[in-house]
Amino acid sequence: MKQLGVLIATFFGMGRIRIAPGTWTSLVVTLIIYFIPAPSLPFTPLALVTVIVFIIGIPAAATCEKHFQKKDPRQCVIDEVAGQLVCFWFLPHTIGFYGIAFLLFRFFDILKPFPIKASERIPHGIGIMLDDVLAGFYTLAILQGVRYFFFK
């Protein structure tokens, strides 16, 4: 069971990439979602997948912390998967929007403005997952604002 948790938390080994595993994982998620053969990914299935990743990610992230004996180890990237998925909610299926969603998400995930940084202190894998989901919501809010004001 521990091996399965680590496998999920590392997103099937993506977290073991030596340089920038979170960035690479976010990029892979962006490409997967972009190349799903649908002109526009409906919100309901995307939100459902996001919630499932978040729920499964909590115990997986906690297992990963125990396995690597470190708080929020860099190998744990399932949180990037959930956060990056949030960014695509209601987003037009264009390379421009998806590229900006990827870049903004990485910006907020690294910068960690309030309350993202504070959410990391929540224990048992919840904090690991929540900080990236919040970064995803920051990105989503900005992109929806851009759509509203510039692409009516």
83-130 per-position pLDDT tens digit: 999 999 999 889 999 999 999 999 999 999 999 988 888 988 999 999
Contacts of 107 (CB under 8 A, 6+ apart): none
Over range 35-62, report the average pLDDT. 90
Q: Is the pTM of this model over 0.75?
A: yes
Q: What does the pLDDT read at residue 40?
A: 67
Q: What are the residue boundaries of the structural domains of the chain, listed by start? A: 2-150
4-26 per-position pLDDT tens digit: 989 999 999 999 999 999 999 99
Q: What does the pLDDT read at residue 103?
A: 98
Residue % of the chain over a pLDDT of 70: 98
Return the SS3 of 91: coil
Q: Encoding tokens for residue 16?
A: 């073991």
> What are the contacts of 91-95 at 24+ separation with CB within 8 A?
91/140, 91/143, 92/40, 92/147, 92/151, 93/34, 93/38, 93/39, 93/40, 93/41, 95/34
The C-alpha atoms of residue 152 and residue 2 are separated, in whole angstroms, by: 49
Main-chain dihedrals φ then ψ at residue 114, nearest 5 degrees:
-60, 140
Over range 121-142, report the average pLDDT. 94
